[in-house]
Amino acid sequence: MIQLFNVSKTYEGEVKVEALRDINLHIKRGEFVFLVGPSGAGKSTLTRLMIREELPSKGQILVDNRSLLRMKEREVPYFRRKIGFIFQDFRLLMERTVYENVAFAMEAIEAPSSEVRERVPAVLELVGLKDKLSAYPHQLSGGQQQRVCIARAIVNNPLLIIADEPTGNLDPDTSWEIMNLLLAINKRGTTIVTATHDKEMVDRIKRRVIALQNGRIVRDEERGGYQA
Ligand code: ADP
Ligand code: ADP
């Protein structure tokens, strides 16, 4: 699903920052992967490379067997349709209802309106929000808002979900609900890569853990914990 070959990323500015150094990585279809490491280790940079928000300074990246370096700019929106994104700060449209927020993702890929009307309520039911279709984001708790984001991320049946600290703003119980939802989505076959600082979560779930430090992979374990 995702392959990185000798990938480095240097941010060129007044001071150069080597955010990633010589990363080699293979994430297979259907895997659930935690990215861990201290702040500044390179987790966000790695997720931004995977969705082609940034290009590497060196090396090759393949996602779904496509080279992100060879991809033309005009192909990028089509590529991104295969990926769902979930962010720590939700990034919902505050002036739109729950239904409209999710429908918007389908309309962006020009899905037929009959499909939108069928699929949006179904996906919102799947994430436990079927009573909130007409609510606005500010009327929802943090956990409910993150469920809307998950609904938006999965509504177009992505092959891959990339999440950057999806539980970073949530209390422990709500974090569990959200992570269980991601595990259930993974069970249906979607590959999930999630950066997190949540030690307890990583230790209990026991999935693949890729640990970064100073831009390098320092540990990659099949059933890992937050720390070595
Ligand atoms: P993490 O997500 O693990 O906290 P990041 O990938 O955000 O790590 O950052 C890795 C390093 O790259 C840090 O030193 C950070 O300050 C730097 N960095 C991240 N994004 C940029 C950017 N757009 N421009 C310059 N430096 C950046
Ligand atoms: P997070 O790791 O929670 O995603 P960051 O603080 O790493 O957030 O980055 C937030 C935004 O700021 C990103 O868009 C990143 O590109 C940018 N950024 C991070 N570090 C730097 C930096 N040193 N210089 C410029 N931009 C940065």
Answer whether 43 contacts ligand 1 (Cβ < 6 A). Answer: yes
Return the pLDDT at 198.
93
Query: Nearest to residue 164, comparing CAs of 43, 53, 82?
Result: 43
List of residues 6+ apart from 22 with CB closer than 8 A: 6, 7, 8, 59, 216
Position 169 pLDDT exceeds 90 = no
Answer whether 42 contacts ligand 1 (Cβ < 6 A). Answer: yes
Residue 227 located in a structural domain: no
Residue 226 located in a structural domain: no
Determine the structural domain holding residue 13 and report its residue range. 2-221
Q: What is the CATH number of the domain that holds 125?
A: 3.40.50.300
Return the pLDDT at 87.
87
Among protein residues, the one with the nearest Cα to ligand 1's atom 26 is: 11
> Which of 10, 20, 44 has most ligand 1 atoms within 8 Å of CB, for mutation?
44
Instruction: Report the Cα 80 to chain-centroid distance in Å.
Output: 12
Position 16 pLDDT exceeds 90 = yes
State the burial class of residue 166 (Cβ atoms within 10 Å of its Cβ: 0-12, 13-18, 19+): buried
> Which of 45, 57, 162 has most ligand 1 atoms within 8 Å of CB, for mutation?
45
CA of 111 to the centre of ligand 2 (A): 33
| CB contact burial 18-32 (16+ within 10 A = b; e otherwise) | ebbbebebebeeebb
Residue 217 located in a structural domain: yes
User: What is the predicted ipTM?
Assistant: 0.71
Digit-coded pLDDT (tens) for 188-219: 999 999 999 999 999 999 999 999 999 999 99
Digit-coded pLDDT (tens) for 67-116: 999 999 999 988 998 899 998 888 999 999 999 999 999 998 999 999 99
Q: 10 Å Cβ neighbour count for 197?
A: 16
Residue 96 located in a structural domain: yes
Q: Which atom of ligand 1 is nearest to the CA of 41?
A: 3
Q: Are 103 and 116 in contact (CB under 8 A)?
A: yes
Residue 228 located in a structural domain: no
Residue 124 located in a structural domain: yes
pTM above 0.90, yes or no: no
Domain count, the chain: 1
Answer whether 15 contacts ligand 1 (Cβ < 6 A). Answer: no
Answer whether 8 contacts ligand 2 (Cβ < 6 A). Answer: no
Q: Which atom of ligand 2 is nearest to the CA of 87?
A: 4
